Amino acid sequence: MTQNENLKALSEAGVSVWLDDLSRDLIHGGDLQRLVDERSVVGVTTNPSIFAAAISGSDSYDDQLHAMAVRGVTVEEALRTITGADVRDACDLLAPVAERTGRDGRVSLEVAPGLAHETDATAAEAAHLWWLVDRPNLFIKIPATIEGLPAITETIANGISVNVTLIFSLDRYKAVMEAYLAGLEKRAEDPEASFAGLESVASFFVSRVDTEIDKRLDAAGADASLKGKAGVANAQLAYQAYEEVFSSDRWKTLEARGAAKQRPLWASTGVKNPDYSDTMYLSELAAPDSVNTMPGKTMEAFADHGQVGSPVSGTYAEAAAVLQAVSEAGIDLDDVFRVLEDEGVQKFAEAWDELTSSVQKQLQDKK
Protein backbone atom coordinates (compact mmCIF):
# COMPACT_ATOMS: atom_id res chain seq x y z
CA MET A 1 0.00 0.00 0.00
CA THR A 2 1.32 3.44 -0.90
CA GLN A 3 0.66 6.74 0.80
CA ASN A 4 -1.30 9.38 -1.06
CA GLU A 5 1.19 11.91 -2.43
CA ASN A 6 -0.85 15.03 -1.56
CA LEU A 7 -1.27 14.05 2.08
CA LYS A 8 2.33 12.87 2.19
CA ALA A 9 3.41 16.34 1.02
CA LEU A 10 1.31 17.92 3.78
CA SER A 11 2.97 15.63 6.31
CA GLU A 12 6.43 16.47 4.95
CA ALA A 13 5.61 20.19 5.42
CA GLY A 14 5.49 19.47 9.14
CA VAL A 15 1.76 18.87 9.57
CA SER A 16 0.58 15.87 11.56
CA VAL A 17 -2.51 14.52 9.79
CA TRP A 18 -5.20 13.46 12.26
CA LEU A 19 -8.66 12.08 11.59
CA ASP A 20 -11.62 13.81 13.25
CA ASP A 21 -13.75 10.69 13.54
CA LEU A 22 -13.91 7.35 15.32
CA SER A 23 -16.23 4.36 15.53
CA ARG A 24 -15.99 0.68 16.36
CA ASP A 25 -16.57 -0.18 12.71
CA LEU A 26 -13.73 2.12 11.67
CA ILE A 27 -11.36 0.39 14.08
CA HIS A 28 -12.30 -3.26 13.65
CA GLY A 29 -13.27 -3.08 9.98
CA GLY A 30 -9.72 -2.11 9.01
CA ASP A 31 -10.50 1.39 7.72
CA LEU A 32 -8.53 3.21 10.41
CA GLN A 33 -5.46 1.08 9.69
CA ARG A 34 -5.92 1.80 5.98
CA LEU A 35 -5.94 5.53 6.70
CA VAL A 36 -2.71 5.14 8.67
CA ASP A 37 -1.12 3.19 5.82
CA GLU A 38 -2.48 5.13 2.84
CA ARG A 39 -3.45 8.60 4.10
CA SER A 40 -0.58 9.49 6.44
CA VAL A 41 -2.95 9.54 9.43
CA VAL A 42 -1.05 9.69 12.72
CA GLY A 43 -3.77 10.61 15.22
CA VAL A 44 -7.50 10.64 15.98
CA THR A 45 -9.81 13.12 17.69
CA THR A 46 -13.30 12.48 19.02
CA ASN A 47 -16.15 14.51 20.47
CA PRO A 48 -19.69 13.77 21.71
CA SER A 49 -21.18 14.32 18.23
CA ILE A 50 -18.83 11.73 16.74
CA PHE A 51 -19.75 9.11 19.35
CA ALA A 52 -23.47 9.86 19.00
CA ALA A 53 -23.25 9.16 15.26
CA ALA A 54 -21.09 6.06 15.77
CA ILE A 55 -23.34 4.37 18.32
CA SER A 56 -26.65 5.20 16.67
CA GLY A 57 -25.43 4.18 13.22
CA SER A 58 -24.03 0.72 13.90
CA ASP A 59 -25.01 -2.64 15.41
CA SER A 60 -21.40 -3.21 16.56
CA TYR A 61 -22.33 -2.01 20.02
CA ASP A 62 -25.36 -4.29 20.46
CA ASP A 63 -23.70 -7.14 22.36
CA GLN A 64 -21.96 -4.79 24.77
CA LEU A 65 -25.15 -2.80 25.31
CA HIS A 66 -27.09 -6.01 25.95
CA ALA A 67 -24.56 -7.19 28.51
CA MET A 68 -24.69 -3.87 30.32
CA ALA A 69 -28.50 -3.79 30.18
CA VAL A 70 -28.65 -7.23 31.83
CA ARG A 71 -26.27 -6.03 34.52
CA GLY A 72 -28.39 -2.95 35.10
CA VAL A 73 -25.56 -0.44 34.76
CA THR A 74 -26.29 3.28 34.74
CA VAL A 75 -26.33 5.19 31.48
CA GLU A 76 -23.28 7.17 32.65
CA GLU A 77 -21.30 3.97 33.22
CA ALA A 78 -22.44 2.59 29.88
CA LEU A 79 -21.34 5.77 28.07
CA ARG A 80 -17.87 5.74 29.52
CA THR A 81 -17.48 1.98 29.06
CA ILE A 82 -18.37 2.23 25.36
CA THR A 83 -16.40 5.35 24.51
CA GLY A 84 -13.47 4.28 26.67
CA ALA A 85 -13.30 0.91 24.90
CA ASP A 86 -13.27 2.50 21.44
CA VAL A 87 -10.60 5.01 22.40
CA ARG A 88 -8.49 2.31 24.06
CA ASP A 89 -8.66 0.13 20.94
CA ALA A 90 -7.74 3.09 18.75
CA CYS A 91 -4.80 3.87 21.05
CA ASP A 92 -3.60 0.29 20.67
CA LEU A 93 -3.92 0.46 16.90
CA LEU A 94 -1.93 3.72 16.83
CA ALA A 95 0.69 2.58 19.36
CA PRO A 96 3.24 1.77 16.61
CA VAL A 97 2.81 5.33 15.29
CA ALA A 98 3.43 6.68 18.79
CA GLU A 99 6.56 4.58 19.12
CA ARG A 100 7.82 5.67 15.69
CA THR A 101 7.13 9.41 16.01
CA GLY A 102 7.42 9.97 19.73
CA ARG A 103 4.70 12.64 19.56
CA ASP A 104 1.80 11.42 17.45
CA GLY A 105 -0.22 8.22 17.52
CA ARG A 106 -2.59 9.97 19.92
CA VAL A 107 -6.34 9.54 20.44
CA SER A 108 -8.43 12.22 22.17
CA LEU A 109 -11.31 11.65 24.60
CA GLU A 110 -13.30 14.60 25.91
CA VAL A 111 -14.47 15.35 29.43
CA ALA A 112 -18.26 15.63 29.75
CA PRO A 113 -19.31 18.96 28.15
CA GLY A 114 -21.57 19.77 31.07
CA LEU A 115 -18.44 20.32 33.17
CA ALA A 116 -17.06 23.06 30.91
CA HIS A 117 -17.55 25.75 33.55
CA GLU A 118 -16.52 23.65 36.57
CA THR A 119 -12.78 23.67 37.24
CA ASP A 120 -12.47 21.00 39.93
CA ALA A 121 -14.94 18.61 38.27
CA THR A 122 -13.13 18.94 34.94
CA ALA A 123 -9.76 18.11 36.50
CA ALA A 124 -11.29 15.18 38.39
CA GLU A 125 -12.95 13.78 35.26
CA ALA A 126 -9.71 14.18 33.30
CA ALA A 127 -7.92 12.07 35.91
CA HIS A 128 -10.69 9.46 35.83
CA LEU A 129 -10.67 9.15 32.03
CA TRP A 130 -6.87 8.87 32.04
CA TRP A 131 -7.20 5.99 34.52
CA LEU A 132 -10.10 4.41 32.63
CA VAL A 133 -8.43 4.22 29.20
CA ASP A 134 -4.98 3.59 30.69
CA ARG A 135 -2.94 4.19 27.56
CA PRO A 136 0.12 6.48 27.32
CA ASN A 137 -0.90 7.76 23.86
CA LEU A 138 -4.21 9.17 25.12
CA PHE A 139 -5.15 12.85 25.11
CA ILE A 140 -7.83 14.18 27.46
CA LYS A 141 -9.80 16.99 25.81
CA ILE A 142 -10.53 19.97 28.05
CA PRO A 143 -12.39 23.04 26.76
CA ALA A 144 -10.57 26.37 26.85
CA THR A 145 -13.19 28.12 28.94
CA ILE A 146 -12.08 30.50 31.68
CA GLU A 147 -12.88 27.78 34.19
CA GLY A 148 -11.08 25.19 32.08
CA LEU A 149 -7.73 27.01 32.19
CA PRO A 150 -6.79 26.12 35.80
CA ALA A 151 -8.01 22.56 35.16
CA ILE A 152 -5.54 22.37 32.27
CA THR A 153 -2.72 23.51 34.55
CA GLU A 154 -3.67 20.95 37.21
CA THR A 155 -4.03 18.11 34.70
CA ILE A 156 -0.66 18.79 33.08
CA ALA A 157 0.97 19.07 36.52
CA ASN A 158 -0.40 15.59 37.26
CA GLY A 159 1.36 14.19 34.18
CA ILE A 160 -1.77 13.77 32.05
CA SER A 161 -1.56 14.73 28.37
CA VAL A 162 -4.16 17.30 27.28
CA ASN A 163 -5.84 18.35 24.05
CA VAL A 164 -7.23 21.82 24.78
CA THR A 165 -10.35 22.32 22.67
CA LEU A 166 -12.72 25.12 21.62
CA ILE A 167 -10.13 27.89 21.17
CA PHE A 168 -11.30 30.76 18.96
CA SER A 169 -9.44 33.95 19.94
CA LEU A 170 -5.78 34.90 20.11
CA ASP A 171 -6.19 36.14 23.67
CA ARG A 172 -7.65 32.84 24.82
CA TYR A 173 -4.99 30.90 22.93
CA LYS A 174 -2.28 32.85 24.76
CA ALA A 175 -4.03 32.04 28.04
CA VAL A 176 -4.04 28.35 27.07
CA MET A 177 -0.30 28.39 26.42
CA GLU A 178 0.16 30.13 29.78
CA ALA A 179 -1.92 27.41 31.48
CA TYR A 180 0.25 24.75 29.87
CA LEU A 181 3.53 26.36 30.89
CA ALA A 182 2.21 26.88 34.42
CA GLY A 183 1.33 23.18 34.57
CA LEU A 184 4.80 22.19 33.45
CA GLU A 185 6.38 24.53 35.99
CA LYS A 186 4.21 23.12 38.75
CA ARG A 187 5.26 19.60 37.79
CA ALA A 188 8.91 20.68 37.66
CA GLU A 189 8.75 21.63 41.36
CA ASP A 190 9.09 17.92 42.06
CA PRO A 191 12.68 16.98 41.18
CA GLU A 192 11.58 13.37 40.68
CA ALA A 193 8.77 14.22 38.24
CA SER A 194 9.28 13.26 34.61
CA PHE A 195 8.10 14.97 31.43
CA ALA A 196 8.54 11.77 29.43
CA GLY A 197 5.47 11.16 27.26
CA LEU A 198 3.69 14.28 28.52
CA GLU A 199 2.24 16.09 25.50
CA SER A 200 -0.34 18.73 24.69
CA VAL A 201 -2.02 20.27 21.68
CA ALA A 202 -4.13 23.41 21.51
CA SER A 203 -7.12 23.05 19.19
CA PHE A 204 -7.72 26.36 17.41
CA PHE A 205 -11.02 26.32 15.52
CA VAL A 206 -11.07 27.72 11.99
CA SER A 207 -14.16 27.29 9.79
CA ARG A 208 -16.62 28.30 12.51
CA VAL A 209 -14.89 31.69 12.65
CA ASP A 210 -15.57 32.27 8.96
CA THR A 211 -19.17 31.11 9.28
CA GLU A 212 -19.94 33.61 12.05
CA ILE A 213 -17.97 36.52 10.59
CA ASP A 214 -19.30 36.00 7.05
CA LYS A 215 -22.84 36.16 8.43
CA ARG A 216 -22.07 39.44 10.17
CA LEU A 217 -20.31 40.89 7.12
CA ASP A 218 -23.43 40.17 5.05
CA ALA A 219 -25.65 41.80 7.67
CA ALA A 220 -23.42 44.89 7.73
CA GLY A 221 -23.35 45.17 3.92
CA ALA A 222 -19.55 45.05 4.09
CA ASP A 223 -17.08 44.41 1.29
CA ALA A 224 -17.74 40.85 0.11
CA SER A 225 -14.03 40.35 -0.59
CA LEU A 226 -13.48 40.06 3.18
CA LYS A 227 -15.57 36.91 3.41
CA GLY A 228 -13.82 33.59 3.92
CA LYS A 229 -10.55 35.14 5.06
CA ALA A 230 -10.81 35.72 8.80
CA GLY A 231 -10.62 32.06 9.86
CA VAL A 232 -7.27 31.45 8.21
CA ALA A 233 -5.90 34.86 9.21
CA ASN A 234 -6.86 34.27 12.84
CA ALA A 235 -5.11 30.88 12.81
CA GLN A 236 -2.01 32.30 11.11
CA LEU A 237 -1.65 34.87 13.89
CA ALA A 238 -2.12 32.08 16.42
CA TYR A 239 0.90 30.35 14.91
CA GLN A 240 2.87 33.57 15.25
CA ALA A 241 1.97 33.63 18.96
CA TYR A 242 3.03 29.98 19.23
CA GLU A 243 6.43 30.78 17.74
CA GLU A 244 6.93 33.65 20.17
CA VAL A 245 5.98 31.70 23.30
CA PHE A 246 7.97 28.60 22.42
CA SER A 247 11.15 30.50 21.66
CA SER A 248 11.12 32.41 24.97
CA ASP A 249 13.68 31.97 27.76
CA ARG A 250 10.89 30.72 30.00
CA TRP A 251 10.18 27.91 27.57
CA LYS A 252 13.86 27.07 27.04
CA THR A 253 14.19 26.40 30.77
CA LEU A 254 11.38 23.87 30.63
CA GLU A 255 12.63 22.37 27.37
CA ALA A 256 16.03 21.76 28.98
CA ARG A 257 14.20 19.75 31.61
CA GLY A 258 12.65 17.56 28.88
CA ALA A 259 9.28 19.23 28.29
CA ALA A 260 7.58 19.07 24.88
CA LYS A 261 6.07 22.03 23.05
CA GLN A 262 2.30 22.38 23.06
CA ARG A 263 1.61 22.12 19.35
CA PRO A 264 -1.14 24.16 17.65
CA LEU A 265 -3.89 21.99 16.21
CA TRP A 266 -6.19 23.30 13.47
CA ALA A 267 -9.72 22.06 14.20
CA SER A 268 -13.03 22.61 12.45
CA THR A 269 -11.27 22.31 9.10
CA GLY A 270 -14.21 21.02 7.10
CA VAL A 271 -15.33 23.89 4.83
CA LYS A 272 -18.89 25.02 5.55
CA ASN A 273 -19.39 27.31 2.52
CA PRO A 274 -19.55 25.43 -0.81
CA ASP A 275 -18.27 28.54 -2.61
CA TYR A 276 -14.87 28.10 -0.94
CA SER A 277 -12.17 25.59 -1.78
CA ASP A 278 -12.87 22.40 0.13
CA THR A 279 -9.19 22.14 1.11
CA MET A 280 -8.48 25.76 2.07
CA TYR A 281 -8.09 25.10 5.79
CA LEU A 282 -5.43 22.49 5.04
CA SER A 283 -3.59 24.17 2.17
CA GLU A 284 -3.30 27.58 3.83
CA LEU A 285 -2.31 26.34 7.29
CA ALA A 286 0.66 24.12 6.55
CA ALA A 287 3.25 24.80 9.25
CA PRO A 288 6.00 22.87 11.01
CA ASP A 289 5.04 21.25 14.34
CA SER A 290 1.33 21.75 13.71
CA VAL A 291 -1.56 19.28 13.66
CA ASN A 292 -4.56 19.34 11.35
CA THR A 293 -7.52 17.20 12.39
CA MET A 294 -9.95 16.72 9.54
CA PRO A 295 -13.19 14.90 8.77
CA GLY A 296 -12.87 11.98 6.37
CA LYS A 297 -14.53 13.93 3.55
CA THR A 298 -12.02 16.78 3.84
CA MET A 299 -9.13 14.33 4.00
CA GLU A 300 -10.26 12.62 0.81
CA ALA A 301 -10.70 15.98 -0.92
CA PHE A 302 -7.09 16.88 -0.14
CA ALA A 303 -5.93 13.44 -1.22
CA ASP A 304 -7.66 14.05 -4.54
CA HIS A 305 -6.68 17.64 -5.35
CA GLY A 306 -5.11 19.39 -2.35
CA GLN A 307 -1.94 21.43 -2.63
CA VAL A 308 0.35 22.65 0.15
CA GLY A 309 0.22 26.45 0.21
CA SER A 310 2.75 29.10 1.16
CA PRO A 311 4.48 28.83 4.55
CA VAL A 312 2.42 30.26 7.40
CA SER A 313 5.44 32.11 8.79
CA GLY A 314 5.34 34.60 5.90
CA THR A 315 1.69 35.58 6.31
CA TYR A 316 1.54 37.49 9.59
CA ALA A 317 1.37 41.07 8.26
CA GLU A 318 -1.32 40.17 5.74
CA ALA A 319 -3.27 38.21 8.36
CA ALA A 320 -3.23 41.15 10.77
CA ALA A 321 -4.45 43.42 7.97
CA VAL A 322 -7.38 41.07 7.26
CA LEU A 323 -8.57 41.12 10.87
CA GLN A 324 -8.10 44.89 11.01
CA ALA A 325 -10.26 45.30 7.90
CA VAL A 326 -12.93 43.05 9.38
CA SER A 327 -12.97 45.14 12.55
CA GLU A 328 -13.17 48.35 10.54
CA ALA A 329 -16.17 46.89 8.72
CA GLY A 330 -18.00 47.00 12.04
CA ILE A 331 -17.48 43.43 13.22
CA ASP A 332 -16.90 43.08 16.96
CA LEU A 333 -14.35 40.26 17.04
CA ASP A 334 -14.49 39.91 20.81
CA ASP A 335 -18.22 39.30 20.56
CA VAL A 336 -17.70 36.85 17.69
CA PHE A 337 -15.31 34.75 19.76
CA ARG A 338 -17.55 34.88 22.84
CA VAL A 339 -20.56 33.70 20.82
CA LEU A 340 -18.54 30.92 19.20
CA GLU A 341 -17.28 29.62 22.55
CA ASP A 342 -20.77 29.66 24.05
CA GLU A 343 -22.19 27.90 20.99
CA GLY A 344 -19.37 25.35 20.98
CA VAL A 345 -19.98 24.37 24.60
CA GLN A 346 -23.73 24.26 23.97
CA LYS A 347 -23.44 22.13 20.82
CA PHE A 348 -21.23 19.56 22.53
CA ALA A 349 -23.55 19.52 25.55
CA GLU A 350 -26.54 18.93 23.26
CA ALA A 351 -24.67 16.14 21.47
CA TRP A 352 -23.80 14.59 24.84
CA ASP A 353 -27.46 14.75 25.86
CA GLU A 354 -28.43 13.13 22.55
CA LEU A 355 -25.84 10.42 23.09
CA THR A 356 -27.06 9.85 26.64
CA SER A 357 -30.68 9.54 25.51
CA SER A 358 -29.76 7.17 22.70
CA VAL A 359 -27.73 4.88 24.98
CA GLN A 360 -30.43 4.97 27.66
CA LYS A 361 -33.06 3.89 25.12
CA GLN A 362 -30.85 1.10 23.81
CA LEU A 363 -30.19 -0.15 27.34
CA GLN A 364 -33.92 -0.35 27.92
CA ASP A 365 -34.58 -2.04 24.58
CA LYS A 366 -31.92 -4.71 25.10
CA LYS A 367 -32.95 -5.89 28.57
Cα distance between residue 171 and residue 334, in whole Å: 10
Whats the size of the chain, residue-wise? 367
Active site residue 366: no
Which one of 141, 227, 229, 261 is the catalytic residue? 141
Residue 39, C-beta contacts closer than 8 angstroms, at least 6 positions apart: 3, 4, 7, 17, 299, 303
Cα distance between residue 2 and residue 23, in whole Å: 24
Q: Using alpha carbons, select from 292, 281, 289 the residue that is nearest to residue 17.
A: 292
Residue 42 amino acid letter:
V
CA-CA-CA-CA dihedral for 268, 273, 274, 278, to nearest 10: -30
Each residue's pLDDT expressed in tens, for the chain with a length of 367 residues: 477 999 999 999 999 999 999 999 999 999 999 999 999 999 999 998 899 889 888 899 999 988 999 999 999 999 999 999 999 999 999 999 999 999 999 999 999 999 999 999 999 999 999 999 999 999 999 999 999 999 999 999 999 999 999 999 999 999 999 999 999 999 999 999 999 999 999 999 999 999 999 999 999 999 999 999 999 999 999 999 999 999 999 999 999 999 999 999 999 999 999 999 999 999 999 999 999 999 999 999 999 999 999 999 999 999 999 999 999 999 999 999 999 999 999 999 998 998 898 888 888 887 7
Cα distance between residue 249 and residue 267, in whole Å: 29
- CATH class held by domain 5-365: alpha beta
CA–chain centroid gap for 56, Å, is 23
